[in-house]
Amino acid sequence: MSINLLIDNLTNPALLFFFLGIIAVQLKSDLEIPPNSSKFISLYLLFSIGFKGGQELAHSDWGPEIFWSLFLGIFLAIIVPAYTFFILRKRVGVFNAGAVAAAYGSVSAVTFVTGVSFLEIQQMAFGGHMVAIMALMEAPSIIVGILLISLFNNGKSQGMQMGKIVKHSFTNGSVLLIMGSLVIGILASEKQAAGIAPFTTDIFKGFLSVFLLDMGITSGKKLSAFWQNGWFPFAFAIFTPIINGSLVAYLSGFISSSPGDQFLFAILASSASYIAVPAAMKMAVPQANQGLYIPMALGVTFPFNITMGMPLYMCVINIFS
């Protein structure tokens, strides 16, 4: 891994604010971001990245690369929860294995947004279609996780109504906002987009810094209560993103010539959902332990990806490019 690339990432102001949030928890500070403000900032980040992605997509040529990229994204959302379920099933039980598998097959929009910021620092471009791929990866992984639970729980549905789960996956606020913003970005002309550029672009990194401060506080609280689950979930939450991210960073080079797109594929493969999946699993599989799969995704995998993971995946891309 390039030392300079790692240092550049670790000295990113947004990431340093994340560390500040963790430190605040350890010091038992009363520092916090009001919930309403945190929600607004998260909505802003999704809106901004979706709109800018739509603008990029509007000027893209819909060739074979984009279609193969869409296929790879959906394939990852199916295969990752499938293989992780079988690794976890005997260790944490069917319900927990399905919930964790869905989380790791799905994606973290905040990790994706942080990855976009990383690319901007490196002055690397990426395709607008990557935003659409991120949104499309939410639902398949949730469906696969629930189907595996139903299949290996002696065929019992446990009252799960697949139609409602599928609808919830696609109408989840995060997915709906980023897809809606993507479509609006496609429809808006360059002149119209320039009119809101100060909002969608100029203040983006400032809002990201405040949001990562909030994520640091939340991660610190989740991680402190996580250790009672033993070493295996922690090791899984570290090594799974390393394997998924590094492998996809290499394989994506066969369908995309853009290092920026390859990097975002690695981020999508390595990240884990701690917003959409918990909401769906709480409704579909209440037997799953939220104290297990949420800290794994938010308290371990998320901090790893935005600190060590992103430079690692970029290093893999640089080696094989």
Residues 157-173 as b/e (b if ≥16 CB within 10 A, e otherwise) read eeebeeeebbebbeebe
Tokens of residue 39, six digits:
């929600």
pTM of the model: 0.79
Q: Which amino acid is at 65?
A: E
pLDDT on residue 231: 84
pLDDT on residue 163: 66
The closest alpha carbon to 137, from 218, 81, 76, belongs to 76
pLDDT on residue 262: 96
Contact between 150 and 172 (Cβ < 8 Å): no
Q: What is the mean pLDDT of residues 74-97?
A: 91
DSSP 199: I
250-305: pLDDT as tens digits: 999 999 889 999 999 999 999 998 777 776 777 777 788 877 888 888 888 988 99
Q: For residue 139, what pLDDT band results from cuts at 50, 70 and 90? A: confident
* Domain range annotation of the chain: 3-320
| Rounded distance between C-alpha atoms, residue 108 and residue 275, angstroms | 8
pLDDT on residue 162: 60
158-186: pLDDT as tens digits: 445 666 666 666 666 666 777 788 889 88
Q: Which amino acid is at 288?
A: A
Burial of 63 (0-12, 13-18, 19+ CB in 10 A): exposed
Assess whether pLDDT exceeds 60 at residue 157.
Answer: no
Tokens of residue 166, six digits:
């599928």
CATH code for the part of the protein at 3-320: 1.20.1530.20
Q: What is the mean pLDDT of residues 139-150?
A: 83
C-beta neighbour count of 88 within 10 angstroms:
24
